[in-house]
Amino acid sequence: MMTVHFVGICGTAMATLAAMLKDRGYTVRGSDRHVYPPMSDFLVAREIPCQDGFEANHITDDVDLVVIGNAVSRGNPEVEAVLDRKLRYRSLPEMVRETFLWDRRSIVVAGTHGKTTTASLVSWLLADGGRDPSFLVGGLTANFGSSYRLGQGREFVIEGDEYDSAFFDKTAKFLKYLPDVAVVGNLEFDHADIYADVDAIKSAVRRLVTLVPRQGLLVLGADSPGAFEMRAGAPCRVTTFGLGETAEWRATGVEAAPDGMTFAVEHRGDPVTEVRVPLVGEFNVRNVLAAFAVASEVGLDPTTMAASVARFEGVRRRLEVRGQERGVTVYDDFAHHPTAVRETLAGVRASNPSRRIWALFEPRSATACRRVFQEDFVGAFSQADEVIIGRVYRSSLPEADRLSETELVAGIGAAGVRARHLVEVEDIVRTVVDEAREGDLVVVMSNGAFGGIHGRLLEALAASGSGAPQPI
């Protein structure tokens, strides 16, 4: 079996693919810069070697194939060694397609928001319903304790990332995934470092739609104008989901509680089943509906699906409760787009109408760091009581293009929500520990590590309650 080296192995998808190949019998290793948990722990647990840093000598003579991550570019010593020696190389999505998808029924979940949760829900419904699917998603699913699974069933569920494939292939990853079923839950502008505007994203998604075979299925979010317009000219069957009356798969009677939501599901106006899901937020209701549409296409019955949904345990970093100390609950969430921030906080508020909500936000993603969403972020925090904006991660951006933390704080404050800008993580931790009271909810939002703030908060809260010196 081949020896495969991964350049940039610590990305979630890259590490996951490495593990999948190892399970298939490949010899796998890789390298990356800034190796840290959780993916470093993920690789160690699977005994996949990871070298810290990029060096030409990491590409040894026994390497048969190199997988090059999309965060790696020309000038990387390992990339240059691969090109100089004319070694075989692939992008991540090419490797996934060639190794796993040609002989499977590919279910591709795309859209600006909710991809990971929806793909995880679909995977869980199929697995719990006895279909034994494979899956590859961009997060650790709690029910499986993994971001992937290699089953014996026909279905392969894959998160359809719209980001580019590699430095040598600037097309979207999802165009490689051979969709038999394609889900487009919503569609907005994102990835400002890759796409010029929302029309460019729509163009990429339209290309995905054109790849669905005639007997396939396109599942569209009816509440998202950008997604809904993809039905025009679709070469296959189309179904829709949402909360509005135009949706074929529709939720009614949504009721929120701290431990989840209940609602009724209708299909084309006919009652289907009652659902309880241990997730919060209307966005998760839509995620469940999308999963229902897909699982129904595969052949599962609504009663089975509803029972499975009630046992869904979520995805790490998607409103994941990291712990509670001194009566203060700390959440970890991946939100980094204004819509995701707004929907996340609205969901927490709907389920906890009388509790004080802290929103701690690190502008870290390529889009979040840019001024393009300066005004949109102001309104995104309206459901919080206390807002702390951390340091803009990509400080090298030109000032004219970079999100202004001070302007954002001023805008949030003018809208009636108390907001502060604190540069250092230890100052954020100290502020929350000093001011938080029993019953408060602290929602930490970042697509990165945010300086390990979650654990530091919980540790400091615990120490403050015990009277011990507070670790910051």
C-alpha separations of 229 from 18, 97, 196, 220, 236 in Å: 36, 28, 20, 9, 14
Question: 226 with 78, same domain?
Answer: no
66 within 8 A of 88, measured Cβ to Cβ:
yes
Residue 467 pLDDT grade (very low, low, confident, very high; cuts 50, 70, 90): low
For 302, the token pair is 């609504």
Q: Please indicate, yes or no, whether residues 51 and 10 belong to a single structural domain of this protein.
A: yes
Amino acid identity of 263? F
The verdict on residue 315 lying in a domain is no
pLDDT tens-place string over residues 136-153:
998 889 999 988 999 999
The mean pLDDT of 292-313, rounded to a whole number, is 97
Instruction: Tell me, yes or no, whether 102 and 81 share the same domain.
Output: no
Domain boundary among 68, 87, 106: 87
> Largest Cα–Cα distance of the chain, in whole Å?
66
The reply to whether 286 falls in a domain is yes
Task: Give the per-residue pLDDT at 118.
Answer: 97
Residue 345 lies in a domain: yes
Q: In the numeric block, which tokens belong to residue 34?
A: 């800034």
In a domain, 410, yes or no: yes
Tokens of 23: 């399970």
Report how many domains make up the chain. 3
Give the CATH number for residue 193: 3.40.1190.10
* 169-205 pLDDT per residue, tens: 999 999 999 999 999 999 999 888 888 899 999 999 9
Among 87, 112, 128, residue at a domain's last position: 87
Say if residue 185 is exposed, middle or buried (CB neighbours under 10 Å; 0-12, 13-18, 19+).
buried
Are both 128 and 207 inside the same structural domain?
Answer: yes
Same domain, 187 and 299: yes
Residue 472 is predicted with a pLDDT of: 54
- The whole-model pTM stands at 0.93
Asked whether residue 472 is domain-assigned, the answer is no
Look at residues 118, 161, 162 and name the one whose alpha carbon lies nearest to residue 141.
118
Give the SS3 label for residue 207: helix
CA distance to 311, 358, 359, per residue, from 158 (Å):
21, 33, 31
**Are residues 249 and 119 part of one domain?**
yes
B/e letters for 370-382, b = 16+ CB within 10 Å, e = fewer, are: bbbbeeebbebbe
Of 105, 99, 135, the closest CA to residue 117 belongs to 135
List the domain range (segments joined by +) for residue 150: 95-310
Instruction: State the Cα–Cα distance between residues 5 and 38, nearest whole angstrom.
Output: 20
Query: The domain spanning residue 456 has which CATH number?
Result: 3.90.190.20
pLDDT at 418: 97
d(C-alpha 361, C-alpha 386), whole Å: 11
pLDDT mean over 428-450 = 95
Of 255, 282, 310, which closes a domain? 310
In this predicted model, what pLDDT tens digit does every residue of 312-328 receive, in sequence order? Answer: 999 988 999 999 999 99
Q: Is residue 63 a contact partner of residue 51, using CB atoms and an 8 Å limit?
A: no
